[in-house]
Structure 1
Amino acid sequence: MKFDYLESKVMEIKNWVINIRRDFHQNPELGLEEYRTRDKIIEYLNHMGIENKIVAETGVVGIIRGKNQGKTVALRADMDALPMDDKKDVSYKSKVEGKMHACGHDAHTAILLGTAKILNNMKERINGNIKFLFQPAEETVGGALPMIEEKVLENPYVDGVFGLHVDNNLKTGQIGIKYGQMKAASDMIRIIIYGENSHGAYPQDGVDAIAIAGQVIVALQTVVSRNVDPRSSAVLTIGTIKGGYGGNIIADRVEMEGIVRTLNKESRELVLHKIKKIVEQIPQTLGGEGEFIRTEGYTALINDNDMVDIVRKNGQQILGKENVKKIPFPSYGVEDFSYFAATRPSAFFQLGTGNIEKGIIHSGHTSYFDIDEDSLTIGILLQARNALEFLKS
């Protein structure tokens, strides 16, 4: 498929896509609450004549079955908003108090609908199938895994997945790509130290949970610096500590909460194992007890290099070689596209949406966040090309 033909078709739907994005922006829904968003997506897909079904309660999967047999590729967009007030002075600002699309998922959804519209009009020339994954709850509990558990990557079997995320640190007309490790794995940790109360004047009669907690915190600082290979790296942060009843009382309980971010499975298992040993063993030597509670977060996002090559080549052809930026280091942010990437060869890339002249300078997860809407057609063109090139390979 020639690039200029595809570009002209994408430009024909530019205003349509902008209006869709603005509608979603005005009507944001939090994770697992995306019922209006889901129903609007179904309405659009039905109008296009694209087969679809509901998955994971508020998610949607659509499919275009090409004229001829071949591979199946999936394109993914997340749908949920954030619990924030929209403080922008624009006609399409959020109508819902305390809810806002501050991370661009409205744009992701609009781009995927636009991509579906373009590719559906070409289905007679497509070999294979294209699935469209509209995913809920990326910002909260993670909707990717429930979708996978409901077999969105089966029947027909998906051979590869592409996803994108808007990025105001890149200018409109640029993309960011990363080979291999792109995002970290995430775990929330909770530590409870148990001691024994006594009067503060008679510490020998108790077991000081605060003193024990201090020793545990010091030991935890060695987990990364003295156990993790520096070439792999990790982050361990204790963000809260609570304990004690008064200045003259030996505390019998201290609670701490923190995060662990790692870039691969081996480092993740090592760090969590070391934390558990420290939390359980140090308090015992000091007469107390320690409890370690882990809440598993997202797995690390590791791109498939061959899939990234497709994005790179299409980006260079559409935007120019100078506008395809290689991301130098993995991010310690998280993204549940990682579950698709762990299951199938995948590529996740950053779509430039920043524009200083238009005042599009605010980063995600802020109340003034917006995107340059000229980026929407670029996203559609890239994702359409990515799908078509994958099916040709």
Structure 2
Amino acid sequence: MSKLMSDLSVSAVVAGFIAVLIGFASSVAIVFQAADAVGASEAMKISWIMALGLGMGATCFFLSWWYKAPVITAWSTPGAALLATSLTQASYAEAIGVFIFAGGLALALGLSGLFDKLMRWIPLPIACAMLVGVLFNFGVAIFTSMQTNLLMVSVMFAGYLIAKKLMPRYAIVFVLIIGLMMTVFASDADFSGIPLELGQFYWVTPEWNMSLILGVGIPLFIVTLTSQNIPGVAVMRSSAYDVPVSNLLSWTGGATVLLAPLGGFAFNLAAITAAICSGPESHPDEKKRYIAGMSAGIFYWLAGIAGATLVGVFAVFPKEMIAALAGIALLGTIGANLKSAFDDDSLREPALVTFLTTVSGVSFFGVASAFWGICFGVLVLVVQRMEWHK
């Protein structure tokens, strides 16, 4: 406990809060679309938020504490998008069976140890290039958001530049305060419709439909692995956290299996929000950034307990504020990974191909561009290192 208190910092706690804020505000609508696709009632939707908050909170808090690294988990946003379009003919109980199956595959892959071995075969510059490709549009969003809300985003960005010069450790804290104040005092801000209530869990026993399990469960597993877990590992590797990633995959897969009947459809390693907690803005000392992961866990718990209220609060925040906050918080991570990706002359071209493929957003066979970026980058590297005999 004494070490925990000595490592505690305002910047790390705020990094955890921002991670939760951005995670919920940027994609909770997609989760509700997935719930609507399987005919979930309002009580069921609230149970989804509570189960997701409980699962992400527990995995963030305890894994960060155990490994002394900012281990950030999240729900699968691409997975939710997949479910919203693929489960329209499924019953709610059959959907639960799909969630459990996909979580079981992740658990099995983690227990096998193969995921950790696979990720260690990928050169760090290629992993960093893939991560930059994933984060690139968040950095660009700082400036595209100015087109629709010039005043708010410009003031937030100017505040960041000033704070970075005068008090760099608290620059993101300052930006968050500016964004919140401008939202609260905006003329069109309406907090009157926010419900003040606690939700309840809603248990549904799964049913097993083999066509859905194979047709949706396997794609859900693949999409979550390629678009969330692999970039999540890249975040930790780029920040020099040597955590056994197969163990992390086992825990997130296990959490999915346990909480799926309550609405926890898919847990995985986070990428964007993890980058916020793993960067220097969280804490200058990388050994103390685990506090950001533990803080995110606590905020996830609070979000789950007050699910209906929190969703209402997040709905008030302008999308430009969320986009600008995410982009500004990720600037340091984007810059550091750009340097790591292209610093080695011998790996520059494979890294460039990885970055371009990832940022393009291409998807083949329903598999996300992050996976194909790694594949094409490694392919270029293999061809470069082949010995050609005449």
TM-score relative to the length of structure 2: 0.24
Instruction: Name which structure has the greater RCO, CA cutoff 8 Å, separation 6+.
Output: 2
Higher strand share: 1
Higher helix share: 2
For the pair shown, the structure with the greater C-alpha radius of gyration is: 1
TM-score relative to the length of structure 1: 0.24
